[in-house]
Copies of this chain bind each other. A is one copy, B any other.
Amino acid sequence: MFSTLKRFLIGKPLRTEELESEKMPIWKGLPILSSDAMSSVAYGTEQILLVLAIFGSTALWYSLPITGAIIFLLTILILSYRQVTYAYPEGGGAYNVSSDNLGLYGGLVAGSALLVDYTLTVAVSSSAGVAAITSAFPALHDYSVLIAVLFVLVIMMLNLRGIRESGTIFAFPTYMFILGIVTLIVIGVGKLFFTGIPEGAPPVTSHLPQGLTLFLLLRAFSSGCAALTGVEAISDSTPNFKKPESRNAARSLAILGLLMAVLFGGVSLLAYMYHITPSGTETVLSQIAEHTFGQTLPYYYIQATTALILILAANTGFSAFPILASIMAKDQFMPRMFAVRGDRLSYSNGIILLAIGAIILIVAFQAKTEHLIPLYAIGVFLSFTLAQVGLVRRWLKDKSPGWVYKITINGAGAALSFIVLMIFAVTKFAEGAWIIIVFLPLLILFFYRIHRHYASVSKALQLDVTEDQPLKSDHVMIIPVGGVSKVVSNTIAYAKTINGEAIAFYVGFDEESVDRMEETWEKWNPNVRLVATVSRYRSVIRPLLRFIDHIEDEHNDKRQITVLVPEFMPHRWWHKVLHNQTALMIRMILLFRKDVVVSTVPFRLDQ
């Protein structure tokens, strides 16, 4: 029943060989992997304006140089990451690069930071997507959290079915979004060209308005940097591209950089020209679209495609997180289960973990983008820094052709990423960044402990195949019996095929039942010793555990103890409710004992 439901939702299992066919050409890989970066156009400008707007309309002008600075930063990052796709065609991005060049623990820090950020990507993008919808339909505002959670669940399901199918569904919205925003910018700027800039435009000024300190300017800058998260997703997933993987990924990165500069710059420019200030109920992008088109079809097109690409951005997290988790699991930083591909060849456990984490964040922060932003981007810029430093070290070592250029690019990337990281941590600390600054080291410690555990266990379990041979041990079997029946007889027959002593163990709730049992046993006489005892607490488990301890003490822990649990198998599985509660309990409790083999001996009726 459960497996039928699973088949319906997830699809039939796929063979391992079908993995290759899941790879994507540029036209499909680009939209899927870059939608996170691209979609931040929907909220990047707004995050800058949210900081500036408090200081009156003169302050709004500063959004333009800040946007410029972010686009410059973007250019450096794109150039840096193009190097990564060539150097690391197997993917893994910051984690691979860092652990390769800075040692395993450098990788651990970068990987943990990225895992946290992918989870935030899903939460932020879903929340911003819902904001695009509620801007157009304010009646839905009260259900934001619910809608965001539903989105996460749907994306999770699509990803459990496998990334290829997700691709085909998810490739178009990105193109539709780009088309929409480019049209918006062209028509918006065109209109301004013919009608002139509206009166009362915030003046271009070099005077800082009252109260707008450098600290706050930097805070506005770091808020805007949230737009840069997701740039690394393409290089993380290089192996998801069709051959030649590296070149396709590098090209995708270049296209991405160009598109983002146009979209982000255009939106910031229009916001400034239209003197738009952020509102609690309508997004900045929605205001721009309304200014340009009015409440007409094109306006709704912008809102719909914005929502779609943001949902798709959440999907970026679902592409990157499970792959990174699987690599980290193979390196024994995470539980093994994250390294196993599910029926549909996706890393199901990573997908499910990510969905849970994102839903927790959405509920905790009530699907409010501006409250999630301070937690965002720290992880990304930390991993950016580590990866770029790693590459610099690599070029210094191997001095491959063009190493001076490469070091210049990656060195600049490292320095800039680190500076942004520091600005972010300082200016956003009190607003929520402290949560990540506390949580991330704990997560790193946790992964480190897992690593140590696996290492110590695998060392301890290692076998010298040329020497260690399995050794026989002496043997005693305990058979808990509730009476005399064919089920018990079957178990005793089984016990007789095993070398060693068998003891039947009976627990009665009063003296008479014990006497009766002993009498019946003697009459039957199946050549097995019976130990019968009274339990005044009506529990079978406790006397059984005591008896096992007793047998162990008697033989100084030398003999292997097996508990053979007789189990009656009814014809229909749901008849089990009517039988075997005791057998079930015994099995469950004994599975926590490290010294006892538990065997379930089934008996079925042949009717």
Contacts and interface: CB of A to CB of B under 8 A. Distances in A.
Contacts of A474: 497
Contacts of A578: 335-336, 450, 453-454
A546 B181 CA distance: 56
A568 B460 CA distance: 11
A460 to B, nearest CB: 5
Interface string A480-504: 0000111111101110111110000
A296 B312 CA distance: 64
A53 to B, nearest CB: 40
A137 interface: no
B485 A463 contact: yes
Given A463-B489, A472-B496, A597 B591 contact: no
A520 interface: yes
Number of copies: 2
A194 interface: no
A596 interface: yes
A523 B465 contact: yes
Contacts of A500: 497
Interface stretch (A302-310, A428-436, A569-577): A569-577
A219 to B, nearest CB: 41
Interface string A575-607: 101110100000000011111111111101101
Nearest to A12: B537
A214 interface: no
Given A497-B498, A602-B595, A607-B460, A343 B537 contact: yes
- Chain A to chain B: the 5 pairs with minimum beta-carbon distance, closest first: A470-B493, A465-B524, A599-B599, A470-B492, A594-B604
Interface string A453-482: 110010011110110111111110000000
Interface residues of A, number: 80
Contacts of A569: 594
A536 interface: yes
B577 A461 contact: no
A82 to B, nearest CB: 33
B475 A497 contact: yes
A292 B530 CA distance: 73
Given A537-B13, A599-B599, A461 B486 contact: yes
A509 interface: yes
Contact of A13 (B340, B499, B539): B539
A556 interface: no
Given A486-B468, A497-B500, A463 B600 contact: no
Contacts of A294: none
A488 B520 CA distance: 41
A578 to B, nearest CB: 5
Given A470-B496, A498-B497, A562 B599 contact: yes
Given A593-B602, A598-B600, A468 B489 contact: yes
Nearest to A341: B538
Contacts of A594: 569, 602, 604
Contacts of A165: none
A459 to B, nearest CB: 10
A337 interface: yes
A581 to B, nearest CB: 5
A22 interface: no
A576 to B, nearest CB: 10
A17 interface: yes
A526 interface: yes
A473 B460 contact: no
A457 B523 CA distance: 23
A195 interface: no
A486 B462 contact: yes
A539 B14 CA distance: 11
Interface string A518-549: 00100110100000000011110000000000
A104 to B, nearest CB: 18
A515 interface: no
Most buried by B among A15, A524, A605, A607: A524
A560 interface: yes
Contacts of A536: 15-17
Contacts of A484: 463, 465
A143 to B, nearest CB: 21
Contact of A462 (B16, B341, B485): B485
